[in-house]
């Protein structure tokens, strides 16, 4: 019980009494209830004034006004209540439960009215105004009264004058004082439990009515997953576009430039002065730029991956790897572009890590179908001890894999071997 | 520059490059009989002109993927003796190997896979075109470097000396003994000795001429040794 600190008043009350009383929970609960009273005081005062002005039948009008108030204020009140909930519920779920992409104007209103969430919020508003807020008011007043009770006698004693309180001042004798103090000391912790209990009940009710229903959450989750997958797809398409633009633009022009310079070299052959050697130098420079550009483009999106798939692209990768890498990838079909790209970049990053950190003398990349997806492993014979926390690269890798609904796991005991395992679906969710 | 006046079919979608390549080949006395900009036109042009050599880009319209390479495969299936140089922006060992695969069939002609960067070294480039027209195999040094790194080759290659590995790389590019000797500033006899030693260490039989290149490449890629 000592390990996990409570996240709501229920849990706090379940701990040892002195722990609970010494904690901030009674005070948080009191603040929660008081804030609730404050929320509802101004509109109720207005309603009361209206009722008084209205004269006969005022209470019927008042009740109607309360209902209207609840209807109008339900949604903003719910928003406010979700924030207030934070005071006593650290695990509070603060997502508004509605569909985010509703239309505007009158249609939006209609859409809102059609949502069960709106009616639950309305129900909460009625409950809040009629029961919860008045109940809170009584308890808060009582608690404050109890807390401030000693102030009067202390003031009297400090000023040493009975005049302020008149003739019937505190003269119940010493026994009376002791009794009063005892009562106070007993009432104080009981009140703390009362306050926390009422706050917890109110919070639970708020949570029940204002938090999104599980089904809504699941729908939302699916939407998030899909939009993330769409983002990854868009990202891949954009990379492909950049690769193509560079290929058709800068790269072609540079090739043409080197060729023109080559032709110039030809025509200058045997000419006097340093012009021929300058042209040769220019051509060599252009070739070097071309080489760098080619590497850059490969890093953005390797063409072989698009044209020939993972195995060919990974083989290309291993061609650049300073240690020998055995590649055994057998896939019965090609995964979606985004999945291929994630796989490729994951293997690329993993091999870079192997070379940089593991001290391995060889590595192996395998890939095969497993269940409803594919499994890719990267194994090395290095010194092991790799951990996701030590390298930002690995975390970035995990994020990319997660974005296509895959998982990444790492086994790297000290002394090795290190095995990085990717499990991916064939397609991204759509 | 043994035989001048080759007929060439050129396929390249970038106008600037197409014109430049035609000018360059013309400068050396070769004749571009057709300069086209997509794969279908390439096939048609080859059928029509039956050129001494085809020079084609890998990536062309309509898909901007590997149309040039696929058109080349189609053509090689129809005309096994056709001489083709494929130009690419990518090192892409996979493309080069696919091209070499077609070479495994009998009665094949000259074949080349070069990075486009090589067109700047004009004389070398035209030399490569001429060698391919004569039935040789020419593989880009960058591609050979990658092949030498392949895991399949790692173990046996360690048995070679540094000089032998250099010679092997140049052999795989399709160089003759004389070319290798001048590249490494050694005598042809020394090169021949190195080559003998390489073939012994790799347990390869030592064919002559173009077959030798293919044997070396086949070995490096892990095919029939």
Q: Which residues in A lie closer than 8 A to residue B90 (C-beta atoms)?
A: 294, 298, 302-304
Residues 29-68 of B with CB under 8 A from A: 59, 64-66
CA terminus-to-terminus distance, chain A: 44
Provide the pLDDT confidence category of residue A92 given band limits of 50, 70 and 90: low
Alpha-carbon gap, residue A257 to A288, rounded angstroms: 12
**Residue B223: pLDDT over 50:** no
Lowest mean pLDDT among A41-55, B54-68, B139-153: A41-55
Q: Which residues in A lie closer than 8 A to residue B21 (C-beta atoms)?
A: 259
**Residue B181: pLDDT over 70:** yes
Mean pLDDT of A136-142: 89
* Most confident by average pLDDT, A78-92, B35-49, B64-78: B35-49
Interface mutation target, options B89, B121, B124, B141, chain A, most CBs of A under 10 Å: B89
**Residue A411: pLDDT over 50:** yes
Interface mutation target, options B14, B18, B93, B117, chain A, most CBs of A under 10 Å: B117
3-state secondary structure of B41: helix
Lowest mean pLDDT among A50-54, A136-140, A230-234, A307-311: A50-54
- In Å, how far is B129's CA from the nearest CA of chain A? 15
pLDDT of residue B224: 37
pLDDT of residue A117: 76
Mean pLDDT of B51-55: 95
Determine contact, residues B191/B181, Cβ cutoff 8 Å.
yes
Q: What are the pLDDT digits (tens) for B27-36?
A: 999 999 999 9
pLDDT of residue B225: 34
Higher pLDDT: A367 or A235? It is A367
For the entire predicted model, the pTM comes to 0.66
pLDDT of residue A98: 60
Mean pLDDT of A238-248: 88
Provide the pLDDT confidence category of residue B208 given band limits of 50, 70 and 90: low
Q: What are the pLDDT digits (tens) for A323-370?
A: 888 889 999 989 988 899 999 999 998 898 888 888 888 899 999 998
Nearest to A406 by CA among A380, A358, A370: A370
Q: How many CB atoms lie within 10 A of CB A350?
A: 26
Using CA atoms, how far residue A120 sits from A71, A115, A116, A289, in Å, is: 11, 9, 6, 65
- Does B21 sit within 8 Å of A255, measured CB to CB? no
- Does B117 sit within 8 Å of A290, measured CB to CB? yes
Query: In terms of CA atoms, which chain A residue is nearest residue B95?
Result: A304
- Does A248 sit within 8 Å of B64, measured CB to CB? yes
ipTM: 0.83
- Does B66 sit within 8 Å of A266, measured CB to CB? no
pLDDT of residue A184: 86
* Most confident by average pLDDT, A70-79, A119-128, A306-315, B144-153: A306-315
**Residue B46: pLDDT over 70:** yes
pLDDT of residue A167: 47
Angle at A392 between CA A391 and CA A398, to 5 degrees: 105
**Residue A162: pLDDT over 60:** no
* Token pair listed for B102: 């077609």
pLDDT of residue A54: 62
Place of tokens 């391995």: A360
Mean pLDDT of B1-20: 83
With a pLDDT cut of 90, the percent of chain A lying above it is 15
Determine contact, residues A33/A139, Cβ cutoff 8 Å.
yes
Residues 73-92 of B with CB under 8 A from A: 89-92
Mean pLDDT of A267-294: 91
SS (H, E, C) chain A: CCCCCCCCHHHHHCCCHHHHHHCCHHHHHHHHHHHHHHHHHHHHHHHHHHHHHHCCCHHHHHHHHHHHHHHHHHHHHHHHHHHHHCCCCCCCCCCCCCCCCCCCHHHHHHHHHHCHHHHHHHHHHHHHHHHHHHHHHHHHHHHHHHHHCCHHHHHHHHHCCCHHHCCCCCCCHHHHHHHHHHHHHHHHHHHHHHHHHHHHHHHHHHHHHHCCCHHHHHHHHHHHHHHHHHHHHHHHHHHHHHHHHHHHHHHHHHHHHHHHHHHHHHHHCCCCCCHHHHHHHHHHHHHHHHHHHHHHHHHHCCHHHHHHCHHHHHHHHHHCCCCCEEEEEECCCCCCHHHHHHHHHHHHHHHHHHHHHHCCCCEEEEEEEECCEEEEEEEECCCCCCCCCCCHHHHHHHHHHHHCCCEEEEECCCCCCEEEEEEEECCCCC
pLDDT of residue B206: 63
Mean pLDDT of A30-52: 77
pLDDT of residue B2: 45
- Does B93 sit within 8 Å of A320, measured CB to CB? no
Provide the pLDDT confidence category of residue A170 given band limits of 50, 70 and 90: low
**Residue A55: pLDDT over 70:** no
B147 touches chain A (CB under 8 A): yes
pLDDT of residue B60: 87
Average pLDDT, chain B: 84
**Residue A392: pLDDT over 80:** no
Provide the pLDDT confidence category of residue B75 given band limits of 50, 70 and 90: very high
- Does A324 sit within 8 Å of B64, measured CB to CB? no
Provide the pLDDT confidence category of residue A168 given band limits of 50, 70 and 90: very low
pLDDT of residue B48: 95
Q: Which residues in A lie closer than 8 A to residue B150 (C-beta atoms)?
A: 315, 318-319
pLDDT of residue A152: 74
**Residue A291: pLDDT over 60:** yes
**Residue B87: pLDDT over 90:** yes
Determine contact, residues B125/B78, Cβ cutoff 8 Å.
no
Provide the pLDDT confidence category of residue A399 given band limits of 50, 70 and 90: confident
Provide the pLDDT confidence category of residue B1 given band limits of 50, 70 and 90: very low
Alpha-carbon gap, residue A300 to A304, rounded angstroms: 12
Alpha-carbon gap, residue A128 to A77, rounded angstroms: 10
Query: In terms of CA atoms, which chain A residue is nearest residue B158?
Result: A324
**Residue B12: pLDDT over 50:** yes
pLDDT of residue A3: 45
**Residue B164: pLDDT over 80:** yes
**Residue B6: pLDDT over 90:** yes
A288 touches chain B (CB under 8 A): no
Q: Which residues in A lie closer than 8 A to residue B65 (C-beta atoms)?
A: 306-307
pLDDT of residue A160: 64
């Amino acid at each position: 019980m000592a390990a996990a600190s409570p996240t709501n008043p229920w849990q706090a009350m379940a701990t040892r009494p002195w722990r609970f009383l010494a904690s901030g929970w009674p005070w948080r609960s009191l603040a929660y209830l008081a804030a609730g009273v404050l929320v509802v005081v101004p509109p109720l005062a207005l309603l009361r004034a209206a009722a008084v002005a209205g004269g006969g039948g005022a209470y019927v009008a008042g009740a109607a006004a309360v209902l209207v108030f609840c209807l109008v204020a339900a949604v903003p009140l719910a928003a406010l209540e979700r924030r207030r909930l934070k005071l006593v519920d650290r695990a509070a779920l603060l997502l508004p439960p509605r569909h985010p992409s509703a239309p505007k104007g009158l249609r939006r209103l209609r859409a809102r009215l059609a949502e069960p969430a709106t009616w639950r919020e309305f129900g909460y508003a009625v409950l809040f105004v009629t029961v919860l807020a008045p109940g809170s008011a009584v308890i808060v007043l009582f608690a404050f009264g109890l807390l401030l009770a000693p102030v009067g006698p202390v003031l009297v004693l400090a000023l040493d004058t009975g005049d302020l309180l008149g003739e019937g001042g505190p003269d119940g004798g010493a026994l009376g004082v002791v009794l009063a103090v005892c009562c106070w000391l007993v009432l104080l912790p009981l009140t703390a439990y009362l306050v926390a209990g009422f706050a917890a009940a109110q919070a639970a009710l708020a949570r029940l009515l204002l938090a999104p229903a599980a089904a809504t959450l699941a729908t939302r989750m699916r939407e998030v997953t899909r939009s993330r997958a769409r983002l990854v797809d868009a990202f891949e398409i954009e990379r492909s576009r950049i690769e193509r633009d560079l290929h058709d633009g800068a790269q072609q022009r540079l090739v043409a430039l080197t060729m023109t310079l080559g032709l110039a070299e030809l025509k200058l052959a045997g000419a006097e002065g340093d012009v021929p050697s300058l042209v040769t130098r220019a051509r060599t420079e252009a070739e070097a730029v071309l080489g760098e550009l080619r590497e850059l483009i490969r890093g953005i999106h390797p063409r072989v991956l698009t044209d020939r798939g993972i195995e060919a692209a990974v083989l290309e990768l291993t061609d650049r790897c300073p240690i020998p890498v055995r590649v055994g990838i057998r896939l019965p079909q090609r995964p979606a572009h985004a999945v291929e790209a994630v796989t490729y970049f994951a293997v690329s990053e993993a091999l870079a890590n192997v070379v940089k950190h593991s001290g391995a003398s060889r590595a192996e990349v395998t890939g095969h179908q497993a269940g409803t997806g594919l499994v890719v492993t990267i194994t090395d014979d290095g010194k092991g001890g790799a951990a996701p926390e030590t390298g930002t690269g690995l975390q970035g890798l995990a994020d990319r894999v997660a974005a296509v609904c895959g998982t990444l796991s790492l086994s790297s005991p000290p002394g090795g071997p290190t095995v990085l395992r990717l499990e991916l679906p064939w397609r991204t969710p759509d | 520059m043994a035989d001048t006046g080759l007929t060439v079919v050129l396929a390249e979608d970038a106008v600037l490059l197409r014109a430049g390549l035609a000018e360059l080949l013309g400068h050396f006395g070769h004749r571009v009989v057709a300069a086209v900009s997509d794969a279908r036109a390439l096939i048609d042009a080859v059928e029509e002109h039956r050129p001494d050599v085809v020079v084609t880009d890998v990536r062309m319209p309509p898909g901007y993927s590997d149309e040039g390479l696929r058109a080349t495969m189609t053509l090689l299936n129809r005309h096994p003796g056709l001489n083709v140089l494929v130009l690419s922006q990518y090192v892409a060992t996979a493309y080069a190997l696919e091209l070499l695969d077609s070479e495994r069939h009998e009665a094949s002609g000259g074949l080349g896979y070069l990075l486009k960067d090589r067109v700047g070294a004009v004389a070398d480039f035209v030399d490569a075109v001429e060698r391919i027209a004569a039935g040789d195999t020419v593989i880009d040094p960058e591609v050979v470097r990658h092949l030498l790194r392949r895991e399949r080759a790692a173990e046996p290659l360690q048995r070679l000396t540094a000089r032998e590995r250099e010679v092997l790389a140049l052999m795989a590019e399709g160089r003759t003994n004389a070319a290798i000797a001048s590249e490494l500033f050694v005598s042809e006899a020394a090169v021949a000795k190195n080559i003998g030693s390489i073939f012994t260490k790799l347990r390869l039989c030592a064919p002559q001429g173009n077959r030798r290149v293919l044997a070396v490449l086949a070995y490096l890629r892990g095919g029939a040794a």
